[in-house]
Amino acid sequence: MASDTSDGLFSPVQLRSGQVLRNRIAKAAMEEGMAGRAQQPDERLIALYRRWGAGGAGLLITGNVMVHAEALTGPGGIVLDADSPLEPFRAWAQAGKAAGAAMWMQISHPGRQVQANMPGVVWGPSDIAVDVGRHSKRFGKPVAMTTPQIEATIERFATTARRAEEAGFDGVEVHAAHGYLLSQFLSPLVNDRTDEWGGPLENRARLLLEIVRTIRAAVSPSFAVAVKLNSADFQRGGFDADDAHRVIAMLASLGVDLVEVSGGSYESPAMSGRPADGRTAAREAYFLELAAELAKTSAIPLMLTGGITRSETAHQVLANNVAVIGMATALAVTPDLPNRWREGLGAAGTLTPVTWSDKSLASATEMAQVRFQMRRMAARRNPALGVSPARALIADQIVQRRALRRYTRWLTSRQRDRARVPAANPVSA
């Protein structure tokens, strides 16, 4: 689907749901790791998103909000399920929307990409573990999901989406990229099932399609439903661009408003410009070539995220029929970058490059650098671009350890309370 770029980055985008984004710049999801009490958003996330909302983007997409309290990407993850109070989420949505941006919640399940020291469950389509070389022990050993667990997961996504709408969010983005659960089902390297959830792509995509279908039925027609999808996994024999093309075609009839195109996983962190197979080596618009090919035939507007930092690059992306420009790290460095672009200005600076040869550790450190900046902005301070990668990593590890203690106590208490009502969640364990 071609996008009208006559008014450039600041022209509006109308989506299938009828929702109109005020411009073509989106703050893409970044995992904040800032859950407050009981894994809920608190004043820190409210301050952070109010600042991003005032920065001029047309769309703000939250970091991972987890649909399953026992399966988190990290101990600081936000949880929105049937038992979560909605008031903290209402305050979060209002903060992001205060200056006119749309606010979408990214909803996710980590599947097998769960740290080994986390309580809860480590699920996957199969029992194939994450392989990141000498860092593999950082991740738990997955067990293959049963059909009842798969069906319960579909309902969890729908519950989270419905409650996000009740809390005042304008839409949800279903995370099916970066090696998380839905991406795992799509990958022939991770999904070796022989039932209706594995085998040919139509079966491997079944979980994603059922989740989107169930969400669309659970929310109002004006509520946006988007999908984040890998353009490729960047692993030989994995999910590739041809698969992405076919999955987008499958989604077209389900009322999807937008597909965000990204790539990679923990095993091949192409989303940070470090694919395991050596492709997408460019430091800007990593996935543009693949996205441009997908856009030629996509009936759904596409959003491209990955390495976009300059307005010139953003205009190049639009010229390739991509409808929305997604930025993540750039907005952790310069939160008002859209407004600066409107004024003909550029970014405030860049983060210190991480040049370590260990790709997995370098990628984790780059994420730690970004979270360091987000925590500063959440405390109403400006980004500190000169922070060393090592300092950012150590600070992040300290924050994660504290968050793990809080999450473990909360989950233990919650499981104890649920044990008193045995029928509450029969497939959670």
pLDDT at 270: 44
pLDDT at 195: 97
The fourth-level CATH superfamily of domain 8-422 is Aldolase class I (3.20.20.70)
pLDDT at 268: 54
pLDDT at 1: 42
- For the chain, the domains span 8-422
**What does the mean pLDDT of the chain come to?**
90
What pTM, to 2 d.p., does this model score?
A: 0.91
Question: Could you report the per-residue pLDDT of 226-254, keeping only the tens digit for each?
Answer: 999 987 656 666 788 889 999 999 999 99
Share of the chain above pLDDT 90, in %: 76
pLDDT tens by residue, the chain, 429 residues: 444 434 499 999 999 999 999 999 999 999 999 999 999 999 999 999 999 999 999 999 999 999 999 999 999 999 999 999 999 999 999 999 999 999 999 999 999 999 999 999 999 999 999 987 888 899 999 999 999 999 999 999 999 999 999 999 999 999 999 889 999 999 999 999 999 999 999 999 999 999 999 999 999 999 999 999 987 656 666 788 889 999 999 999 999 999 999 876 665 554 444 444 444 334 466 688 888 899 999 999 999 998 899 999 999 999 999 999 999 999 999 999 999 999 999 999 899 989 888 888 888 899 999 999 999 999 999 999 999 999 999 999 999 999 999 999 999 999 998 888 765 454 444
Residue by residue, what is the 3-state secondary structure of the chain? CCCCCCCHHHCCEECCCCCEECCCEEECCCCCCCCCHHHCCCHHHHHHHHHHHCCCCCEEECCCEECCCCCCCCCCCEECCCCCCCHHHHHHHHHHHCCCCEEEEEEECCCCCCECCCCCCCEECCCCCCCCHHHHHHECCCEECCHHHHHHHHHHHHHHHHHHHHCCCCEEEEEECCCCHHHHHHCCCCCCCCCCCCCCHHHHCHHHHHHHHHHHHHCCCCCEEEEEEECCCCCCCCCCHHHHHHHHHHHHHHCCCEEEEECCCCCCCHHHCCCCCCCCCCCCCCCHHHHHHHHCCCCCCEEEECCCCCHHHHHHHHHCCCCEEEECHHHHHCCCHHHHHHCCCCCCCCCCCCCCCCHHHHHHHHHHHHHHHHHHHHCCCCCCCCCCHHHHHHHHHHHHHHHHHHHHHHHHHHHHHHHCCHHHCCCCC
pLDDT at 279: 41
